[in-house]
């Protein structure tokens, strides 16, 4: 979503983004942008003129429970405005001009992950054939696999191969949204339903009408909401928070989880009837270590992707770099490989990506709740803090990715950051 004009520069960037496959919505001002969001015109990122009241806009987004990241854009090098925008809550500041391609790269980076399925390995080829059989149907697909194996990428692939390909693809991470907000995010709310509900807001199910909704990490959904989710799947009806009548929805559902779902069902934390309703067309994604023939093609794909995003020269992997990526365990799977290649293309100094630019670090074990015991060289709390810091470095500050590598929810990671007074710029 583009908010404002910026003397035509950002409109040019929007056209470039459209040509490269992104969908762009333009709004004249903050009020129009909020109105568009309320009526279900969702966005993966909002780019806004720095001259507009960004602080007020972000306050409105938070009050109305919109979680879309905001990027401020401004003409020239207006440092005070840039600082003010970041302080107001903008994730980034992008100066304009000179390069509309930079804006397109920002839009692409948010929305790209990714329509490209790399499946050279026999294990992935077989799985992709099964996914392609599921895709044209209306069956609910349940994708499982370790964190970072590419479950959302597979979901987008299925959507693109489905009869709903021309409709929206809406993803929502059930683990990243607080329990008291998730119902409103999924099903929407009416004006006055709760404090801050200043207008009707359509939820993700209505936003995805005619298309596909991805319920990422659905295993983290609170049991009280699982009954409402079951009704949405069985009857294709949802109830907005504060609503007086059910609303019919037309969506295809894909769900994912990195958990042992049968264990969750057995211990009563996940409804068995909901699990059976989701598990109509199951797909299990293999870990990256179990699809070795895909490692080098994926590494090169990510190197090329981030060369484009950062405006640096594309480079091939050297033979030594290939040996290094092939020998890693990649305990963080494709996501860890992606972050590693992002870093590598930025620090490489040779004509080809050298082995020294590939900084490998095995993903740490899951964070444990007990931190009071002591261990050689310091307390477990000290070790836990260092583990979190190292993982944030590995993921370039991305908290969502870090939480998945650590094996904890984003909510637990936020609590740990507060507990250890860690203040990292992250997404």
> Is a pLDDT exceeding 70 seen at residue 104?
no
- Dump strand ranges (E) for 76-183: 92-96, 141-144, 169-173
Alpha helices in 98-213 (DSSP H): 100-111, 122-134, 151-160, 179-187, 204-207
Q: What is the pTM of this model?
A: 0.66
pLDDT value at residue 90:
86
Q: How far apart are the first and last CA of the chain?
A: 18
pLDDT value at residue 13:
65
Pull the structure tokens for residue 213.
């909704």
Contact 298, 335 (CB under 8 A): no
**What percentage of the chain carries pLDDT values higher than 90?**
46
Region 318-333: mean pLDDT is: 95
Pull the structure tokens for residue 247.
């609303």
The model's confidence at residue 2, banded by pLDDT at 50, 70 and 90, is confident
Residue range(s) in the chain whose domain bears CATH number 1.10.10.60: 374-419
Instruction: Lowest mean pLDDT of 56-70, 92-106, 344-358, name the range.
Output: 92-106
**φ and ψ of 142, to 5 deg:** -120, 115
pLDDT value at residue 231:
93
More confident residue, 91 or 238: 238
| Closest C-alpha among 322, 358, 324 to residue 343 | 358
The domain 2-111 belongs to what CATH superfamily?
Response regulator (3.40.50.2300)
Per-residue pLDDT reduced to its tens digit, 242-262: 998 999 999 999 999 999 999
Q: How many CB atoms lie within 10 A of CB 262?
A: 11
The CATH-assigned architecture of domain 374-419 is Orthogonal Bundle (1.10)
Task: Tell whether domain 288-357 is in CATH 3.30.420.10.
Answer: no
- Give the three-class secondary structure for 208: coil
> Is a pLDDT exceeding 70 seen at residue 352?
yes
What is the C-alpha radius of gyration for the chain, rounded to an integer number of angstroms?
A: 22
127: left (phi over 0), alpha (psi -120 to 50) or beta: alpha
Give the list of residues 6+ apart from residue 21 with CB closer than 8 angstroms, or none. Answer: 108, 111, 115
Residue range(s) in the chain whose domain bears CATH number 3.40.50.300: 122-284
Alpha helices in 279-331 (DSSP H): 295-310, 319-327
The model's confidence at residue 361, banded by pLDDT at 50, 70 and 90, is low
Dihedral over Cα of 235, 159, 294, 112: its sign: negative
Per-residue pLDDT reduced to its tens digit, 116-152: 688 999 999 999 999 999 999 999 999 999 988 999 9
Fold of 122-284: Rossmann fold (3.40.50)
Torsion of CA 139, 137, 132, 405, to 10 degrees: -30
pLDDT value at residue 193:
86
More confident residue, 357 or 378: 357
More confident residue, 318 or 194: 318
Per-residue pLDDT reduced to its tens digit, 367-399: 433 433 444 445 667 777 877 887 777 666 777
pLDDT value at residue 396:
64
CA dist 73 and 377 (Å) reads 47
75: left (phi over 0), alpha (psi -120 to 50) or beta: beta
> Is a pLDDT exceeding 60 seen at residue 419?
yes
Q: What is the DSSP letter of 236?
A: S
> Is a pLDDT exceeding 70 seen at residue 91?
yes
CA dist 219 and 216 (Å) reads 9
pLDDT value at residue 100:
61
**φ and ψ of 375, to 5 deg:** -140, 165
Q: What is the DSSP letter of 27?
A: E
Per-residue pLDDT reduced to its tens digit, 283-297: 999 999 999 999 999
**Average predicted confidence (pLDDT) for the chain:** 84
Q: What is the DSSP letter of 219?
A: G
């Amino acid at each position: 979503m583009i908010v404002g004009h910026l003397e035509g520069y950002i409109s040019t960037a929007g056209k470039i983004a459209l040509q490269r496959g992104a969908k762009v919505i333009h709004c004249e001002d903050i009020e129009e942008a909020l109105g568009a969001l309320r009526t279900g015109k969702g966005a993966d990122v909002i780019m806004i003129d720095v001259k507009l009241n960004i602080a007020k806009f972000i306050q409105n987004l938070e009050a109305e429970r919109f979680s879309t990241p905001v990027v401020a854009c401004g003409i020239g090098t207006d440092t005070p405005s840039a600082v003010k925008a970041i302080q107001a809550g903008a994730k980034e500041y992008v100066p304009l001009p000179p390069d509309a391609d930079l804006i397109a790269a920002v839009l692409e980076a948010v929305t790209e992950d990714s329509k490209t399925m790399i499946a050279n390995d026999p294990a992935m080829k077989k799985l992709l054939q099964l996914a392609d059989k599921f895709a044209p149907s209306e069956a609910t697909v349940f994708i499982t696999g370790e964190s970072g194996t590419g479950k959302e990428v597979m979901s987008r692939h299925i959507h693109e191969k489905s009869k709903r390909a021309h409709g929206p693809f809406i993803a929502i991470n059930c683990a990243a949204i607080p329990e008291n907000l998730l119902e409103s995010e999924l099903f929407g709310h009416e004006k006055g339903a709760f404090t801050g509900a200043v207008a009707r807001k359509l939820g993700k199910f209505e936003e995805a009408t005619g298309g596909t909704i991805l319920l990422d990490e659905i295993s983290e959904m609170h049991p009280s909401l699982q009954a409402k989710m079951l009704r949405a799947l069985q009857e294709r009806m949802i109830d907005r928070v504060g609503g007086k009548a059910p609303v019919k929805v037309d969506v295809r559902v894909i769900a994912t989880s990195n958990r042992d779902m049968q264990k969750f069902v057995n211990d009563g934390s996940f409804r068995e009837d909901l699990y059976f309703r989701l598990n109509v067309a199951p797909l299990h994604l293999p870990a990256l270590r179990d699809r070795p023939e895909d490692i080098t093609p994926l590494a090169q794909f990510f190197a090329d992707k981030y060369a484009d995003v950062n405006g640096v020269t594309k480079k091939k992997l050297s033979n030594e770099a290939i040996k290094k990526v092939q020998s890693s365990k990649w305990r963080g799977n494709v996501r860890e490989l992606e972050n590693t290649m992002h870093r590598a293309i930025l620090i490489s100094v040779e004509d080809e990506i050298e082995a020294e630019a590939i900084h490998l670090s095995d993903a740490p074990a899951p964070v444990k709740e007990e931190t009071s015991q002591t261990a050689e060289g310091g307390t477990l709390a000290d070790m836990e803090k260092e583990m979190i810091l190292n993982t944030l470095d590995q993921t370039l500050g991305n908290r969502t990715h870090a939480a998945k590598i650590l094996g904890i929810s984003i909510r637990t990671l936020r609590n740990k950051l507060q507990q250890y007074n860690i203040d990292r710029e992250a997404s």
